[in-house]
Amino acid sequence: MKLFLDANILVSVLNKEYPVFTYSSRILSLADNKKFEIFTSPICLAIAFYFAEKKSGNAIAKRKIEILANKLSIAESNQLTVRKATKNKQIHDFEDGLEYYSAVQSNCKCIITEDQNDFYFSEIEVLNSKDFLVKYVM
């Protein structure tokens, strides 16, 4: 199953933000499970880096992002994703539109985010980290 991780999931892991860390870190560990392919986007990594750098400094944040980038598949954000995000009248937050179409373009079946309402327009499943684990892993 292909999964897309929103930036807030990455931030919760990098900055050990409880209580979400309990669930989000477990989802990241699924990258080692052959049943799952975990995607994120360059934009999500940039957002995660920004918050990790604020907490841990530049050098540590870069190491953390490097580890993530080696573990996860990186979904493309390209001209097609930009066009789709701008043309979809339902999308009010451009960044969420880019993430959504990156997930769709990578054939992800689920977006995992702690802000499910951000993807109100989604035609693919959107779950928070705890609900995903309950539904698909436990």
42-62 confidence digits (pLDDT tens): 999 999 999 999 999 999 999
CA dist., res. 10 & res. 21, Å (int): 9
Res 2: pLDDT: 98
Closest CA relative to residue 39, chosen from 79, 2, 84, 13: 2
Q: Helix, strand or coil for residue 65?
A: helix
The pTM score is 0.96
Confidence of residue 76 (pLDDT cuts 50, 70, 90): very high
What is the Cα–Cα distance from 14 to 93, expressed in whole angstroms?
24
Per-residue pLDDT tens over the stretch 77-102: 999 999 999 999 999 999 999 999 99
**pLDDT, averaged across the chain:** 97
Cβ atoms of 53 and 29 within 8 Å: the answer is: no
Domains and CATH numbers, the chain: 2-136 (3.40.50.1010)
